[in-house]
Amino acid sequence: MPIYEYRCQECGRRTTVLHRSIHNIQQPTCPRCGSQNLKRLISKVAYVRSEEARLEAMADPSNWGDVDENDPKSLARFMRKMSQELGEDLGPEFEEVIDRLEAGQSPEEIEKAMPELGGELGGDLDEGGGGIDQVL
């Protein structure tokens, strides 16, 4: 399901639209002025893709160097490194995961203890409060 960002040519409002199907892209309407004169912005989608690719590369154990994925403490060290490399605060959940790893818990135990992680360390792509405005 593609997510596109549009800018209204009438009032300048940006809106993020999740399309249910790539085969049936419907023209969205501006949530502020109701205009259908919206122009699709592609930069953000491209950015999200590259970010995903970066995270995927990091999730590949062969890129981890000397990390031992069966050693929680080694994993914790790696995750700290990853966090520094991303140059952003990954949030209190991420910190808690690292703390638990350093305490010797396995990723499986941590997932059970923190079900809100949804089985994916690092969580969803956080677009800084942007979110989806419309579903078409």
Q: Which residues are near Zn ion by CB under 5 A?
A: 8, 10-11, 13, 30, 32-33, 35
CB 9 within 8 A of CB 41: no
Q: Closest approach of Cβ 9 to Zn ion, in Å? A: 8
Nearest 5°: the CA angle 1, 136, 39 is 90
Q: Give whichever of 10 and 85 is closer to Zn ion, judged by the CB atom.
A: 10
Q: Closest approach of Cβ 1 to Zn ion, in Å? A: 24
Q: Give whichever of 109 and 133 is closer to Zn ion, judged by the CB atom.
A: 133
Q: Give whichever of 5 and 117 is closer to Zn ion, judged by the CB atom.
A: 5
Q: Closest approach of Cβ 27 to Zn ion, in Å? A: 13
Please name the residues in contact with 120: beta carbons below 8 A apart, sequence gap of 6 or more. Answer: none
Q: Give whichever of 23 and 39 is closer to Zn ion, judged by the CB atom.
A: 39
Q: Closest approach of Cβ 30 to Zn ion, in Å? A: 3
**132 in the Ramachandran plot: left (φ > 0), alpha (ψ -120 to 50) or beta?**
beta
Please name the residues in contact with 39: beta carbons below 8 A apart, sequence gap of 6 or more. Answer: 6, 7, 9
